């Protein structure tokens, strides 16, 4: 689907902003880590000497004390010792070392001053309470190891270094020193500038991202209102206008749906009910399609356009979507009041091969032609566009695809049988099975009203399967007859049809009495698998008949390759054999070739004695036509 320039770029910008923000956050994290690393190194360099001096001083004090007595009691009672320790602590005071003091913890766990090395005006007195603000002060009694406590300020690092003084492996005194380390101003300024810059850029990007997201949401909301039909909640013609240039016609089949007698509904029940019908029909359509694959567009007032996605090059899977929509609408009932129910039907036209059209517009017109034909057939049916039908607005008595489908489901597909005469033996033991459908009124419908409608659809395959089953059952009933059944080239390469024929061949006395008639066509000659499958059928015991031979794609070499058993010369040629010299010569050449290739020939459409005598004179052994019998239901007596 086409996206406008703004939307494409807004998505790109959102992606760019998110990625840029993550990169900058990573840089910010790296900058903070760098600052911490620098500070750590500064502390290590600046405190090495100070810590060494402090440890030595603590050891000196420890050596002065009697290990057999309490340390804090000794110092309290010995004024000279107290003075000596105080002088040692005062000697440690420098520009960076601010405070040096000796503490003890009383029986209540309160820290108190024992000796303070500060200047006299700031000196703490003995037993003065000392408030701690960090749990590391307490942990020293457990670890019994020196502890470093860092306090960060703007331009310096304030450090408290605690050294435990042990007596008999118990911490009796804590030697504490407070000193500071000046930060390197230039490094500090650069790192701070980097952090502030990155934070500023991230803030701007986040603000920009929020604006972009808001604009994208607004844009999508506007586009939705522009592309979505408010009444039915499906796409509208604006969307189609954006879409049609970019549709790959190989990937879809096109269905045109029109609600039958919608004007009558509006005129009879009012526009509110008409709108309700439109909403209900659109809901059924949306619930019948495959989400994220098929597209529904309200093309006109009561007309919908369906683009059904083709999967694995099987267009009949997509056709199932159209049929599901049709069936679900037929089953639905729309309540127009508490008591009244409205049954709505639709007419559908389908273009199964839009890829044959140059543009979407041309492809849609063909679906619309099929829709027009569906309306002319009385509405409430599906019609598939067939280019062999020059005028789709002509009814011609064709059945609708829905009528054919119902006939298959209701087993109203039957066979009539026409005799094939052996001129030498004059036996009537061979018959051709001919498709018929009994319509709902009991009328017999001939293939010319059936096959054009389902050409290229899965229904044609289903018809073939049904006819095969009928013939199989007839052969079981009549063990002394032969029946020929017509299959189209697509049947020959269809696995499900081949499986049926394989199953029949596993039964005794069946395949040798069931002839397979295949219409000569370009599809038969060009299909890669057809020759292989025909040879397989011959191995299974089936006789192969090439039907309508001479109708336009005659390929004598192909006949020899597949080793067909019979050629049935096209009836339109046989009918001309008396008056048309070209037709006579063509039949003569076919007979001559067949004789040399050891292939039997059957003349079709033998409708009078004169034609019969003529074909016999050419050496044709088998004949079929109205001169001998008309197609009818099987009668043992005839």
404 has a pLDDT exceeding 90: no
Tell me what pLDDT residue 133 has. Answer: 81
* pLDDT at res. 5: 40
CATH 3.30.70.270 correct for 237-384:
yes
Lowest mean pLDDT among 24-33, 252-261, 404-413, 561-570: 24-33
pLDDT digits (tens, 9 = 90+) for 173-220: 999 998 876 654 555 666 677 777 777 777 777 777 777 777 766 665
CATH fold label, 5-186: Beta-Lactamase (3.30.450)
Rounded Cα–Cα distance for residues 21 and 29 (Å) = 12
Provide the β-strand partners of residue 347: 258
Give the DSSP per-residue string, 122-189.
GPPPTT-B-----THHHHHHHH-S-EEEEEE-SSEEEEEEEEEEEETTEEEEEEEEEEEEE--HHHHH
Q: How far apart are CA 334 and CA 558, in angstroms?
A: 58
Give the model's confidence band at 396: pLDDT under 50 very low, under 70 low, under 90 confident, else very high: low
Lookup result for tokens 């492809």: 363
Q: Read off the tokens for 466.
A: 């049904």
> What's the pLDDT score for residue 478?
92
**CATH code that applies to domain 410-623:** 3.20.20.450
If pLDDT is split at 50, 70 and 90, which confidence band does 636 have? Answer: low
Q: Can you give the pLDDT at residue 428?
A: 61
Report how far residue 601's alpha carbon sits from residue 592's, in angstroms, rounded to the nearest whole number: 10
- pLDDT tens digits for 139-184? 899 899 999 887 765 456 678 889 999 988 899 999 999 887 665 4
Q: Whole-angstrom Cα distance, residue 550 to residue 69?
A: 130
**Of 58-72, 128-142, 203-217, 355-369, where does mean pLDDT reach its minimum?**
203-217
Q: What residue segments make up the domains of the chain, in order of their start?
A: 5-186, 237-384, 410-623
Q: Is 96 helix (H, G, I), strand (E, B) or coil?
A: coil
pLDDT digits (tens, 9 = 90+) for 475-487: 999 999 999 999 9
**Which candidate, 6, 20, 22, 14, places its Cα nearest to that of 212?**
14
Predicted confidence at residue 187, as pLDDT, reads 56
Query: What is d(CA 139, CA 159) in angstroms, rounded to the nearest whole number?
Result: 17
Q: Mean pLDDT check: name the lowest of 10-14, 326-330, 346-350, 464-468.
A: 10-14
Q: How many C-beta neighbours within 10 Å does residue 230 have?
A: 7
Mean pLDDT for 225-237 is 85
Q: Is the pLDDT of residue 423 over 80?
A: no
Mean pLDDT of 320-337: 88
What's the whole-number average pLDDT of the chain?
83
Residue-level pLDDT at 350: 92
User: 86: closest CA among 62, 116, 42?
Assistant: 116
Q: How far apart are CA 324 and CA 287, in angstroms?
A: 10
Kindly tell me if the per-residue pLDDT of 230 is higher than 50. Answer: yes
Asked if residue 413 has pLDDT above 90, the reply is yes
**Residue 615 has what pLDDT?**
92
| String of DSSP letters for 438-488 | E-TTS-EE-GGGTHHHHTTSHHHHHHHHHHHHHHHHHHHH-TT-EEEEEE-
Instruction: Summarize pLDDT for 240-273 with one digit per residue, the tens.
Output: 888 888 888 889 999 999 999 888 888 888 888 9
- Of the chain, the percentage scoring pLDDT greater than 70 comes to 82
Q: What is the mean pLDDT of residues 64-69?
A: 88
CA distances from 132 to 160, 169, 364 (A): 11, 23, 86
Mean of the pLDDT values across residues 544-564? Answer: 75
């Amino acid at each position: 689907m086409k996206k406008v320039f703004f939307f494409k770029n807004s998505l790109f910008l959102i992606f760019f902003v998110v990625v840029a923000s993550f990169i900058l956050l990573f840089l910010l994290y790296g900058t903070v880590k760098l600052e911490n690393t620098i500070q750590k190194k500064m502390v290590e360099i600046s405190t090495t000497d100070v810590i060494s001096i402090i440890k030595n001083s603590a050891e000196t004090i420890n050596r002065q004390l009697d290990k057999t007595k309490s340390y804090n009691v000794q110092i309290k009672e010995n004024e000279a010792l107290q003075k000596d320790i105080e002088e040692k602590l005062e000697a440690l005071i420098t520009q960076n070392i601010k405070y040096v003091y000796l503490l003890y913890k009383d029986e209540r766990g309160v820290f108190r001053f024992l000796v303070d090395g500060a200047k006299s005006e700031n000196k703490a007195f003995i037993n003065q309470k000392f408030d701690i603000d960090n749990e590391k002060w307490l942990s020293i009694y457990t670890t019994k190891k020196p502890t470093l406590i860092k306090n960060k300020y703007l331009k310096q690092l304030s450090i408290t270094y605690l050294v435990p003084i042990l007596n008999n492996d118990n911490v009796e005194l804590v030697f504490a020193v407070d000193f500071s380390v000046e930060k390197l101003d230039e490094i500090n300024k650069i790192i701070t500038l980097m952090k502030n810059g990155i934070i500023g850029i991230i803030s701007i990007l986040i603000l920009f991202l929020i604006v972009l997201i808001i604009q994208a949401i607004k844009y999508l909301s506007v586009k939705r209102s522009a592309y979505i039909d408010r009444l039915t909640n499906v796409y509208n013609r604006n969307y189609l206008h954006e879409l049609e240039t970019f549709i790959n016609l190989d990937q879809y089949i096109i269905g045109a749906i029109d609600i039958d007698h919608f004007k009558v509904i509006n005129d009879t029940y009012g526009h509110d009910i008409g709108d309700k019908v439109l909403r209900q029909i659109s809901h059924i359509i949306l619930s019948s399609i495959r989400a994220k694959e098929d597209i529904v567009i309200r093309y006109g007032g009561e007309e919908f356009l369906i683009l059904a996605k083709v999967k694995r090059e099987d267009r009949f899977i997509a056709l199932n979507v159209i049929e599901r929509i049709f069936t679900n609408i037929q089953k639905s009932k729309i309540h127009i009041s508490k008591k009244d129910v409205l049954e709505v039907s639709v007419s559908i036209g389908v273009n199964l091969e839009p890829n044959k059209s140059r543009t979407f517009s041309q492809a849609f017109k063909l679906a619309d032609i099929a829709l027009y034909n569906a309306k002319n057939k009385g509405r409430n049916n599906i019609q598939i566009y067939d280019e062999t039908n020059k005028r789709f607005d002509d009814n011609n008595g064709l059945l609708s695809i829905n009528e054919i489908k119902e006939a298959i489901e209701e087993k109203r597909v039957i066979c009539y049988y026409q005799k094939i005469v052996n001129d030498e033996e004059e036996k009537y033991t061979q018959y051709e099975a001919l498709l018929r459908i009994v319509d709902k009124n009991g009328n017999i419908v001939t293939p010319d009203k059936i096959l054009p409608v389902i050409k290229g659809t899965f229904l044609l395959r289903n018809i073939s399967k049904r006819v095969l089953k009928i013939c199989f059952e007839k052969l079981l009933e009549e063990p002394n007859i032969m029946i020929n059944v017509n299959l189209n080239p697509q049947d020959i390469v269809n696995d499900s049809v081949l499986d049926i024929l394989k199953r029949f061949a596993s039964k005794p006395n069946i395949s040798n009495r069931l002839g397979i008639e295949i219409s000569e066509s370009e599809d038969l000659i060009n299909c890669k698998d057809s020759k292989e499958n025909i040879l397989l059928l011959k191995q299974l015991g089936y006789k192969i008949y090439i039907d309508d031979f001479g109708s336009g794609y005659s390929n004598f070499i192909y006949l020899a390759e597949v080793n067909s058993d019979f050629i049935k010369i096209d009836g339109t040629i046989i009918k001309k054999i008396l008056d048309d010299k070209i037709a006579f010569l063509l039949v003569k050449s076919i007979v001559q070739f067949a004789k040399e290739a050891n292939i039997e020939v059957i003349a079709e459409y033998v409708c009078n004695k004169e034609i019969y005598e003529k074909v016999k004179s050419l050496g044709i052994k088998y004949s079929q036509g109205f001169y001998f019998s008309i197609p009818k239901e099987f009668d043992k007596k005839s």
